[in-house]
Structure 1
Amino acid sequence: MPRMLLIFPLVGIPLIPLVVPQGVFSTLHAQSAPPGSPKSPDKSANDGKPPPPASDVELVERLHAARKEYENSLKALYEHYARVGDRQRWKWVEEELLGYHLLFKPSYNLDVKDVPPATLKAEVNIPAANELYRAAMEYKGKGFGTEYILNQRRAEILLREILEKYPNSDKIADVAYQLGDIYESRAFRQYDRAARYFERAYQWMKGGRTDARLRAAILYDRYLNDRTKAIELYREHIAHDTDPDRIRQAERRLAELTGKK
């Protein structure tokens, strides 16, 4: 059977199917290798296992820096054209900024400039952090369609600003919970990110009685296919929560996963 490839289109050009006979790629690869080219690495030298993947940390750090530089450049242009009264270019920048915030921007490595460590402590009442939190909640969950997505992004930016500027604020556990909710929402659907922030919500506020553990467990269970982690969190939730309905929910699912009735 022939192999079907698709050439991704430029703007306004439809997809063009390209049919390539089976086996052509392997033949071309064999023909293109110059004499004396090194052979594929011998897996037997590594007990038959492929070599471990190289770290993506440096690349992800560069990506974060590039995103921030791009966004800041657009904001600077926006302010410049507003000052000089160039309404046409001001509108262009506004539309590009809008597009940037609507763009799907996944977190390729949650440990690189994304989820802070579990060791943070919610200790100090900081008025500036409180104000940012109130502003974020004015946007979170509001609106419909595109406006809803933009409001979720606005709330995300404000909440993340709290973690960046005021990591010892007594609101960080609430911030983590709200970020978990945002990343789980249809505006993001980034379930690994959501689960990690739900975990931070109870790690940063010892003795908290929210459903953060349960929500993290459900994400690991339903979306991330990590049964071991889900079982661990269901058990922790049962041990720490005081809400009877949530406890029963966790007990039912734990019994299904472990086969213990």
Structure 2
Amino acid sequence: MKFRYWLLSCFALGLLGIGHGITADPAKSPPTKPADDGAMVERVIAARKEYQNSLVGLYDYYAKTGDKERAKWVEEELKSFHLSNKPSYRLDISDVPPATLEAKQNRPEANNLFRLGKDYKGKGLGTEFTLNQRRAEIVFQEILAKYPDSDKIADVAYELGELYEGRSFKQYHRAAAYFERSYQWRKGGSNDARLRAARLYDKQLNERSKAIELYRDVIQHDSDKDRMKEAEKRLAELTSTRK
């Protein structure tokens, strides 16, 4: 108690170097920032996985031993974990796969997972809806991790783009990146993935040059007249010299 009172008093009187012109010792250099955040991001991703796996293991233990009360506690903690927002601090680290993937193999396991993810994605209200969006994300990401040559990867990327753009995530950089992968991985045919990426860079991320690039790509590569018309209109607005 005395120590706490002393600490509060020091802050109030500026004895800890706050206020009254007290400065840090010039002989001591300030802490240097790490050259790159990559290693730290990797540790965060690994810690998330370890935490989730530990909870799953604990749940299995309590379920097998018949401890229903503790199993329920773990279940609630797992739900809280999945409901929490987990940003992608670096899209290039354990997240968005490269544009060079080739969708060329019919993988029955991937097809089954895709149907499961779609089923989760459209279900529920309120908290249950959010949980199902998280479940869908896990399933779709599993497809990309386990079956990167599946002929479903372009569709998976599109679904992930929609998830990350939606109200349960609102991770717009991530959404745009997956929409880009969707049209990059798709061989033949087209959808609105390129236009949706352009809209995100334009309206949500304020990355004007990237939006202009993608609107031009829509005009050049898309075959849908309405999408092309929208891209032409917005491109004219963005490139106009008028204020």
TM over 0.5: yes
Q: 2:88 aligns with which of 100, 103, 107?
A: 107
CA deviations 1:190-228 (Å, max 9, x no partner) are: 000000000000111133311000000000001111000
Q: How many angstroms apart in 2 are the aligned matches of 1:168 and 1:20?
A: 65
Q: Look up the SS of the partner of 1:167 in the other structure.
A: coil
TM-score (norm 2): 0.88
Q: CA deviation at 1:112?
A: 0.4
Asked whether 1:37 is paired with 2:37, we answer: no
Amino acid at match of 2:197: A
- Number of the residue aligned with 2:134: 153
CA deviations 1:44-96 (Å, max 9, x no partner) are: xxxxxxx9972111001111110000000000111110100001100000000
- TM alignment of 1:25-64, pairs within 5 A: 25=18, 27=20, 30=23, 33-34=24-25, 36-38=27-29, 54-64=35-45
Q: Look up the SS of the partner of 2:150 in the other structure.
A: coil
Q: CA deviation at 1:37?
A: 2.8
Which stretch shifts more, 144-153 or 53-62? 53-62
- Number of the residue aligned with 1:240: 221
Structure of greater relative contact order (alpha carbons < 8 Å, 6+ residues apart):
2
Amino acid at match of 1:63: V
- Number of the residue aligned with 2:150: 169
Q: Does the 8 Å contact 1:183/1:194 carry over to 2?
A: yes
Distance of aligned partners of 1:53 and 1:236 in 2 relative to their CA distance in 1, 3 Å threshold: farther
Distance of aligned partners of 1:81 and 1:227 in 2 relative to their CA distance in 1, 3 Å threshold: same
Amino acid at match of 2:69: Q
Q: How many angstroms apart in 2 are the aligned matches of 1:88 and 1:133?
A: 34
Amino acid at match of 1:82: A
Listed as ranges, the gaps of 5+ residues in structure 1 are 1-17, 42-50
Q: Structure 1 residue runs of 4+, over 2 Å off? A: 18-21, 24-29, 33-38, 51-54
Listed as ranges, the gaps of 5+ residues in structure 2 are 1-10
Q: CA deviation at 1:25?
A: 4.2
- Number of the residue aligned with 1:14: none
Asked whether 1:93 is paired with 2:74, we answer: yes
Distance of aligned partners of 1:29 and 1:188 in 2 relative to their CA distance in 1, 3 Å threshold: farther
Q: How many angstroms apart in 2 are the aligned matches of 1:26 and 1:125?
A: 67
- TM alignment of 1:112-131, pairs within 5 A: 112-131=93-112
- Number of the residue aligned with 1:253: 234
How many residues of Structure 1 are paired with residues of Structure 2 in the alignment?
230
% identical aligned pairs: 61
Q: Does the 8 Å contact 1:202/1:208 carry over to 2?
A: no
- Number of the residue aligned with 1:48: none
Amino acid at match of 1:180: G
**Whose helix proportion is higher, 1 or 2?**
2
- Number of the residue aligned with 2:52: 71
Amino acid at match of 1:220: Y
Aligned Cα root-mean-square deviation (Å): 2.4
